[in-house]
Chain A
Amino acid sequence: MNQRANIALLFWIALGIFISIHSYRLGLGTWSSPGPGLMPFLVGALLSAFSLFSLVRRLRQKSGAAMAGEKRRRPELGRICLVLGSIIGYAFLLERLGYLVTSFLMLALLFRGMGTTRYGVAATLSAATVLVTYLVFSYLGVAFPPGILQWKGFPG
C-alpha cells in the first residue's frame, strides 16, 4: 500500500512536469494580459511541487519504525476484468450492432457472470430490461443507434 502511494506521488510529479512544459509552450502571456498557458502552468507546477513535498515527507516518516500495513481487500480481478471487458466491448460494438443487440449481449453476459445461474433467466431478464429501457429512454428523447437492426426499420 505504501509503495503504491509513493508510485502514485511519482506519477503526479511527472504529470505536473508534463503539464507545466506543455503550458509554457502554449504561452504564459504577461501578468497584465495572461495567456492560455498561465493557469495550467501554475496548476502543473503546484501539482509537482506538492507531490514532491508529500513524497519526501512520506519517505522521511518511513525511515522510522515500519508503518503498520493496512489489510487491504484483494480485488476480485476476475469479476473486474469481466465488467471492464463487457463495457469496453459494448462501446466498440454499440454503433455496429445497435443498442438492442449490444445491450442484450452485455446484460446477459453480466447477469450470468455475476452469478445468475440459469442461462434462460439471464436471457429473459436481459431482453426485458433492454426493451423497457429502450421504450422509456426513447420516450425521453434519447436517440439510440439502430445498428444491424436498421434494415428492419428500427428508429434510432
Chain B
Amino acid sequence: MEVLSGLLSGFEVALQPANIFYCFLGVFVGTLIGVLPGIGPIGAMSILLPTTFGMSSVSAVILFAGIYYGAMYGGSTTSILVNIPGEAASVVTCLDGYQMARKGRAGPALGISAIGSFIGGTFSLMALTFLVFPLAKAALKFGPPEYFSLVCMAMTVLIYLAKGSVSNAVLMVLLGLFLSTIGMDLITGAQRFSFGSTTLYDGIGLVPLAMGLFGISEVLSNIEGSGERIVFEARIGNLLPSRSDWKRAAGPMARGSVMGFLLGILPGAGALISSFLSYTVEKKLSKHPEEFGRGAIEGVAGPETANNAATGGAFVPLLAIGIPANVVMAILLGAFMIHNVSPGPTLITRHPDIFWGVISSMYMGNVMLLFLNLPLIGMWVKVLKVPYRILMPLILLFCLIGSYSVNNNVMEVFIMIFFGIVGYLLRRLDYEEAPLILAFILGPLLEQSFRQSLVMSTGELSIFFTRPISAAALIISIFLFASTGLSVYRKTKDKAMIE
C-alpha cells in the first residue's frame, strides 16, 4: 500500500509539464546517443551535467535516467542496420539483428527489439519499485563498517567481472582510489596532492575526468577508423513482428527481463553482461541453435530485453543504499550530490518526491521510447548516415563546453584534455576506464567509512568482521578475489606448461 501511494504521489511529480518535457528530452537524447556510435550515455550525461545546475534535482535525475535507458533502446537500431553497436550493450544484437536485416527482416528485428526493450524496462521498473523500499529500510541499519565492506565488495565484483585482464582492472581501481584522494581531506581539512593548485583544492572534478576518459579518449580512438558507415538500405517494411515471431520471442523476453534485472544490480557492466548471458542462454535452450548468428529472432529479443531490464536493476543499489552499480549510476550519483541530495536509505524519507518522481517518470519514459523507436525509425536511419567526420568535432565541442561550464574555469578544460590523453593511452595499453572512474567515485565513501569505523572501534580492525552484514560482504569479497587470483594463476601455469 505504501508503495502504491508512493507511486501515485510520484506520478503527480512526474506529470508536471516541466518534468514531462525533461523526460522526453532525456529519452530523445538517449536514443540519439544510442543510435550514434562515438559517444555513449556516460559522455552525454557528463556533458549535460553542468547544464542541470539550474534545474530542480528531480528534473535533473529524470533527464539523466531517460538518457540511460533511452540509449539502450537506440543502440539496437545501429546494430541491426549497420552491424555496428551504438552502445556497448548492443554488441550482441549485431550477431542476429544484422543478419535479419540482410534477409529483408529489418522491420521485425527493429520492432521486436523496441518491444522487448519496453517489456524489459517496465518489468525491471516494477521489480525496482517493490524491492527498493524494503532494501532501503534495511539499509538504515548500516553503519560505517557495513558501507566500507559493501564498497569493497562492489569493487571486487567489478574486478571479477572485468572484460579484460583482471590485474589491469585492479590497477585501475587503485588509480581511481588515488585520484579520489586529491584535494582536501574532508575529515582533517589537509590538502593532499594538490601542490598549491587552487583548481585542485576541491579535488579533480567528476565532469572533466569523465568527459576526458570517455569523451575525448573515445574520439582519439575512433579517429583511426573514421570511414563511412554503410547503412543497410533495404526497405524497412512492417515493423510489427509476425505471430510466429511473437511465439519465438516470448520466452527469451521473459527470461531476459529477470536475468537483466538481477545482473543489473551487480556492480560492473550489468547491461553488457546481461545481454551476453541472455544470448548464451537462449542459444542453449533453443531447439534450433544453428539458426543463431544467421538471423534468429531469439538472438535479438532476449539480449535487447535483458539490457533494458538491467537499467532498472542498476538503480536498486543507488537508490536504496547510495552505492552506484556502474559508471552511469556513478555519474547519476554525482548529479545527486551536485544538487545536495544523498541517495540511499534516507532518500525515501527526506526526498520522497525525488524518489517516487524518478521511478514514476521511468514508467512514462518507457512508453515514450516505444513510440519514439517504432514510428520514428526513418528519422533515426537518416541520423545514422551522418558521417563521423562531421560528428567528431561536435562531440569535442560539447565536451569542451561541458567541462568549462562546470565552474567557468578554463583549468577544468585542461584537466579534461589531460585525462583524455591518459584515457587514450590506457586504451592502447588495454586498461579499462570503467573501474577507474567507479573507484574514483566510491573512493571518498570507502575512505570515510574506513576511518570512521576505526574511530568507532578505537583502532580494532576486527570491527569489520564482528558485525554480520560487514563480515558477509568482506567474506564474499575475499572469496571472489581469491577465485579470480586462482583462475589467473591456473591460466599462467597452463601457458607455461604449453611453452
Contact = CB atoms under 8 A, between A and B. Distances in A.
* A and B: interacting chains: yes
Interface of A: 4-5, 8, 12, 16, 19, 22-23, 26-27, 30-40, 43-44, 46-47, 50-51, 54, 57, 61, 64-65, 72-73, 75-76, 79-80, 83-84, 86-88, 90-91, 94-95, 99, 103, 106-107, 110-111, 114-116, 125, 129, 133, 137, 140-145
Given A40-B193, A47-B174, 12 more contacts: A4-B428, A19-B178, A22-B193, A47-B175, A80-B424, A83-B396, A84-B220, A87-B396, A106-B397, A111-B389, A116-B390, A144-B401
Interface of B: 50-51, 53-54, 167, 170-171, 174-175, 177-178, 181, 185, 187-188, 190, 192-193, 216, 219-220, 223-226, 389-390, 392-394, 396-398, 400-401, 404-405, 408, 410, 413-414, 417, 420-421, 424, 428-431, 446-447, 450-451, 454-455, 457-461, 492, 495-496, 499
B172 to A, nearest CB: 10
Contacts of B390: 111, 116, 125
Contact of A88 (B170, B417, B429): B417
Contacts of B225: 73
A46 B174 contact: yes
Given A36-B192, A87-B216, A47 B178 contact: yes
Contacts of A30: 459
B167 A43 contact: no
Contacts of A79: 223-224, 226
Contact of B187 (A36, A88, A95): A36
Given A32-B458, A80-B220, A12 B393 contact: no
A140 B54 contact: yes
A22 to B, nearest CB: 7
Contacts of B420: 87
- Per CB-CB distance, the 3 closest pairs between chain A and chain B, nearest first, are A31-B459, A32-B459, A64-B499
Contacts of B175: 12, 47
B487 to A, nearest CB: 14
A83 B457 CA distance: 53
Given A36-B192, A80-B223, A43 B408 contact: no
B458 A84 contact: no
Contacts of B50: 142
A84 B393 contact: no
A103 B396 CA distance: 10
Contacts of B190: 26-27, 36
